[in-house]
Each structure stands twice: as structure tokens, then as C-alpha cells.
């Protein structure tokens, strides 16, 4: 296996030990990105800047400097501001606009020695789960380029799965890190809301938004979480024997694609054989509470938070102009009415926040009563839809709404501001399947430790055959 196919932690260690040159690796990453340009993962890729950053990293290492990500390239979703790269959020009015400063999380990545080679694609304004974007084009799933990579951080999922970079930073409002992680066969972490700074990130809703990493191992997620949050405490050792995981059969396990269900059940059987106690957990009224919170909070806060963001940018762009520049029909249908008759009333928003408190209490009570460390469920109920199936697609022979189906299992924990982890557990019909763990609020490092133990117990996830996409890419 080539070094560029290994994890971020392994690459960082090889560079630190002098077993590789960052400049030489940069040329390999550049060549692979060029060979796999048909995936459309990158919105912007700055090869000269990557070469310069790599040379600087080699020089720093030569002077004896140490940093956790020194020389490791990390891709950024194109709603995260980084100096030298436009921040377009995948939408017409912002496309090509240059930020005035690094986002706080980018500042932390650079301080840790990370290289920033470019920006990856997203669903327009992060309002969707397919990353079929009418402004920047559809991002393609490396496992099957006719399929979507999930969203809204689809470029992040595709770039990590195709090994264009060892890791990427996405954002997650209702599943936008975990859905592409599952559909692209990589690991992804949604931190507890507030753990990672949102300064310099184009918003949807402050109550729900959080940036989070996608990578090819839980160890890499932990490494990046430590850099992004400042909490780099060592992960505690977790023994699977006696570990209690909650199984919320109702809602999360309903109406799964049969092959996805079989893959997830096999993972549960493997964990049970390793000594994990699978405990039934009930979350009564979950679907209703989630529905009362989800879009009401997101859409009300979008008008408020995006308006503030645009004003702070000082570029003379208002919310009406932003909305007028939306080109993806599905996003225009959601956002367009918000400035007129479709605006969410303040009273409805207050009611939704009250429902959110009840949703959080429901989760807290379930964790307390059951004594489980996390809830376990399929990240997405199905395999990746085909590109173009933006409104609906077939699951078990019946038409299902695309957006609602893809985020069905990730949305409730998002609305409760919980940390969530998606792990790749295998293939169904040649396409990846993800298994999710939702933990109590603030349990991020513990959740990562659980994920690492579970990852070690499950069969290793295969990697995408890059030569099948483009000869010479491997």
C-alpha cells in the first residue's frame, strides 16, 4: 500500500520519522486529483500552493519542529473560510468570493501543521443530502460514479474515499457529515454542538450546525477532533465485553433496505459475539418531536444567522440577493419562500425550541434509564441513490423522498445537539453501509473510544479500486 493510501496518523508518523518527503507525497496527491477529476470532488484545488506548503512542512521538520498534522493535507468543505481560497458555499451569489480571514478551525489546522490543498463540493448552501449541485456540478461517489456521495458534505466523503486526501472537514446540521461518511465508506464524526468553533463557517442554524471530520479511521477522527476542539485527551481503553449499547428498534430500524439491514444485523452479531450487551431502548414520541423541531428551527435560524453572516462579511451582499442566486431547484424550493409568505413565525420557532427541550430530555432519560454508552443504528436506511434522483428514489420497491430518507436516522440526534459517529461496516450491492453511534451530550472522546473498539472488532472496510474509475489513479 502506498503511503498516500494510509491514514492521516500513519502519514504524519512517516513524515515525522523522516521516512518520506512531504514534497514527494504532494506530487502524488496532485497526480491522483488530476486523474480523478471526473469525480468532481474538488471545487478548487491549488497545486502550486500545495507544493509550497509541502516544501515548508519539510523545512519545518528539518529544523526539528513537531506538530500533530505536520505535512498532512486536509480538504475543506466549501462553506469553511480559508485565506487564499474562495468560499462559495456552493451557491451562485457567493461563488468565487474571497474571505478576509481563516475560519477559527482552519487556524487551528494550520497551527497543527496541516496543509490545505483546496475546497471540496457540497450541496448548495448545505441544504441537501445528494451534493447534486446546479452551480458547481454533481459530486460523484467513487464506489459507483453514477451514484451520489451523500451530502451535504459530499465532496468531503468522495475525496476521502478516493484517497485524494486522508481526511476532510465537513459540516453537519442534520446529518451532513455522517450521511456522506456512510455512503462513501469512511468514518465521520458530528461533534456535540459548540465543541468546534463555527466562526468563519457559512451558517444554516446555530442551534444545529457543527463542523466535523471525515477520515478513514476512528484514530484519525480523534486526532482531528483534538486539533479542532482543543481537547486532545487520550482515548480511554474500552473493553467490548460488558459494554452496553442501546438498540432503538422503533423508528431507526424501520423500513430499511433489506441488504442494508442484513449488513447492520451482521455487525450487531459480531459485536454480541465479542461480548457487547445489546439493550433494547425505547424513545416514545421521537418521530413527532423531531418533526416539530427539525425544519422549523433550521429555517427560522437560517434567515437570522445567514443574514448576520452576510452583514459581517461587509461585501454588500444581502439575503435577498443570496436567495435570488440559488440555482439548485430543491434548495430554491426550501429557501425561496422564507423571505415572504413562507417565513417561519417567531411563535412557531419558540414552540419548536420547547419541543427541542423535550427531545433532549427524551434522550437524556433514555441514556439514564438504560445505562447504555451509546445508541446504535444504521446511519442511512439505504444505499446511495443515483445522481438525478433528487426528489425520490426506490427503497424496497416503493418511492421514498430523497432528502427525508437520507437524513431520517441522523436528524433526531442533530436536533438534540448530540455527538454522532458513523462507521463503515461493509458493502451492500457493492456500495458502502454505515453504522451510527449517538452518545450523550459532551461524550465525544468517550464516543470515539467506543468507535475505535468497535472498528477493531469488525472486518476491515475495503478501499475503492481507483483503477476502475481512472487508469493510473491508483
Could you say which of 77, 328, 414, 436 is catalytic?
Answer: 77
Q: What is the DSSP string of 353-372?
A: HHHHHHHHHHHHHHHHHH--
pLDDT for 377 beyond 90? yes
pLDDT for 474 beyond 90? no
pLDDT at 59: 97
Cβ-Cβ contacts under 8 Å for 6 (sequence gap 6 or more): 14, 166
Could you say which of 153, 156, 168, 176 is catalytic?
Answer: 176
Vertex 77 angle, CA 58 and 104, to 5°: 70
pLDDT at 42: 98
Cβ-Cβ contacts under 8 Å for 385 (sequence gap 6 or more): 130, 147, 148, 393, 402, 406
The model's confidence at residue 440, banded by pLDDT at 50, 70 and 90, is very high
Residues 15-36 have pLDDT tens digits of: 999 999 999 999 999 999 999 9
176 is catalytic: yes
Considering only the C-alpha atoms of the chain, give the largest distance between any 2 of them, rounded to a whole number of Å: 62
The model's confidence at residue 315, banded by pLDDT at 50, 70 and 90, is confident
Question: Does residue 392 sit in helix, strand or coil?
Answer: strand
What is the C-alpha separation between 150 and 129, in angstroms, rounded? 5
What is the C-alpha separation between 423 and 132, in angstroms, rounded? 24
Neighbours of 96 (CB within 10 A): 10
pLDDT for 164 beyond 90? yes
Given CA atoms 179, 180, 184, 187 in this order, what sign does their dihedral have? negative
Question: Does residue 436 sit in helix, strand or coil?
Answer: strand
- Closest C-alpha to 43, from 181, 171, 164, 155: 155
Mean pLDDT of 306-328: 94
152: cis peptide before it, omega within 30°?
yes
- Closest C-alpha to 415, from 360, 375, 366, 378: 360
370 is catalytic: no
Could you say which of 33, 119, 152, 370 is catalytic?
Answer: 152
pLDDT at 472: 78
217 is catalytic: no
pTM of the model: 0.98
- Per DSSP, 470 falls in state S
Mean pLDDT of 155-166: 98
Q: Do 424 and 434 touch, CB atoms closer than 8 A? A: yes
Structural domains of the chain sorted by starting position, each given as residue range(s) with its CATH number in brackets: 3-282+362-468 (3.90.1300.10)
Residues 202-260 have pLDDT tens digits of: 999 999 999 999 999 999 999 999 999 999 999 999 999 999 999 999 999 999 999 99
Residues 390-413 have pLDDT tens digits of: 999 999 999 999 999 999 999 999
What is the C-alpha separation between 150 and 132, in angstroms, rounded? 9
Q: Do 443 and 419 touch, CB atoms closer than 8 A? A: yes
Q: In what order do the strands lie in the sheet with 210-215?
A: 42-45, 118-120, 74-77, 167-172, 210-215, 187-190, 420-428, 431-438, 374-378, 244-247, 277-280
Mean pLDDT of 408-422: 98
pLDDT for 1 beyond 90? no
What is the C-alpha separation between 179 and 400, in angstroms, rounded? 16
What is the C-alpha separation between 193 and 414, in angstroms, rounded? 9
The model's confidence at residue 151, banded by pLDDT at 50, 70 and 90, is very high
Mean pLDDT of 272-290: 98
CB neighbour class for 389 (10 Å; exposed up to 12, middle 13-18, buried from 19):
middle
pLDDT for 473 beyond 90? no
pLDDT at 145: 98
Across all residues in the chain, what is the average pLDDT? 97
Cβ-Cβ contacts under 8 Å for 298 (sequence gap 6 or more): 173, 174, 204, 205, 208
Helices (H), 36-85: 47-62
What is the C-alpha separation between 223 and 166, in angstroms, rounded? 12
pLDDT at 91: 98
The model's confidence at residue 314, banded by pLDDT at 50, 70 and 90, is confident
Q: Do 456 and 401 touch, CB atoms closer than 8 A? A: no
Q: How far is CA 156 from CA 93, 150, 251, 264, 281, in A?
A: 22, 10, 28, 24, 33
Neighbours of 362 (CB within 10 A): 19
Percent of the chain whose pLDDT exceeds 70: 100
Amino acid at each position: 500500500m502506498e503511503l498516500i493510501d494510509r491514514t492521516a496518523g500513519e502519514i504524519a508518523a512517516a513524515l515525522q520519522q523522516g521516512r518520506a518527503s512531504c514534497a514527494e507525497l504532494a506530487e502524488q496527491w496532485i497526480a491522483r486529483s488530476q486523474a480523478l477529476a471526473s469525480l468532481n470532488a474538488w471545487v478548487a484545488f491549488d497545486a502550486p500552493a500545495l507544493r509550497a506548503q509541502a516544501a515548508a512542512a519539510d523545512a519545518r521538520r528539518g529544523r526539528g519542529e513537531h506538530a500533530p498534522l505536520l505535512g498532512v493535507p486536509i480538504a475543506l468543505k466549501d462553506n469553511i473560510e480559508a485565506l487564499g481560497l474562495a468560499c462559495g458555499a456552493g451557491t451562485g451569489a457567493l461563488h468565487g468570493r474571497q474571505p478576509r480571514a481563516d475560519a477559527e478551525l482552519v487556524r487551528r489546522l494550520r497551527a497543527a501543521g496541516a496543509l490545505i490543498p483546496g475546497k471540496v463540493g457540497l450541496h448548495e448552501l448545505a441544504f441537501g443530502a445528494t451534493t447534486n449541485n446546479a452551480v458547481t456540478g454533481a459530486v460523484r461517489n467513487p464506489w459507483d460514479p453514477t451514484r451520489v456521495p451523500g451530502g451535504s458534505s459530499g465532496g468531503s466523503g468522495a475525496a476521502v474515499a478516493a484517497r485524494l486526501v486522508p481526511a476532510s472537514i465537513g459540516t453537519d446540521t442534520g446529518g451532513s457529515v455522517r450521511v456522506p461518511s456512510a455512503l462513501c465508506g469512511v468514518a465521520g464524526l458530528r461533534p456535540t454542538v459548540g465543541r468546534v468553533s463555527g466562526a468563519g463557517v457559512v451558517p444554516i442554524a446555530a442551534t444545529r450546525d457543527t463542523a466535523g471530520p471525515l477520515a478513514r479511521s476512528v484514530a484519525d477522527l480523534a486526532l482531528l477532533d483534538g486539533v479542532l476542539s482543543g481537547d486532545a485527551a487520550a482515548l480511554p481503553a474500552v473493553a467490548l465485553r460488558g459494554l452496553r449499547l442501546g438498540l432503538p428498534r422503533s423508528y431507526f430500524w424501520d423500513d430499511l433496505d433489506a441488504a442494508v439491514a442484513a449488513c447492520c444485523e451482521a455487525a450487531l452479531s459480531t459485536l454480541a459475539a465479542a461480548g457487547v450487551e445489546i439493550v433494547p431502548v425505547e424513545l416514545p414520541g421521537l418521530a413527532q418531536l423531531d418533526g416539530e423541531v427539525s425544519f422549523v428551527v433550521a429555517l427560522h435560524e437560517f434567515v437570522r444567522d445567514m443574514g448576520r453572516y452576510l452583514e459581517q462579511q461587509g461585501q454588500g451582499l444581502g439575503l435577498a440577493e443570496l436567495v435570488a442566486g440559488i440555482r439548485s431547484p430543491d434548495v430554491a424550493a426550501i429557501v425561496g419562500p422564507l423571505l415572504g409568505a413562507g417565513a417561519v413565525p417567531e411563535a412557531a420557532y419558540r414552540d419548536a425550541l420547547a419541543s427541542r427541550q423535550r427531545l433532549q430530555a427524551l434522550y437524556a432519560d433514555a441514556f439514564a434509564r438504560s445505562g447504555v454508552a451509546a445508541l446504535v443504528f444504521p446511519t442511512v436506511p439505504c444505499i446511495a441513490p443515483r445522481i438525478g434522483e433528487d426528489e425520490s428514489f426506490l427503497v424496497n420497491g416503493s418511492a421514498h423522498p430523497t432528502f427525508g430518507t437520507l437524513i431520517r436516522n441522523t436528524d433526531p440526534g442533530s436536533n438534540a445537539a448530540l455527538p454522532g459517529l458513523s462507521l463503515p461496516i461493509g458493502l451492500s450491492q457493492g456500495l458502502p453501509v454505515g453504522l451510527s453511534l449517538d452518545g450523550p451530550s459532551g461524550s465525544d472522546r468517550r464516543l470515539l473510544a467506543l468507535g475505535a473498539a468497535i472498528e477493531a472488532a469488525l472486518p476491515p472496510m475495503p478501499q475503492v479500486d481507483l483503477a476502475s474509475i481512472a487508469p493510473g489513479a491508483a
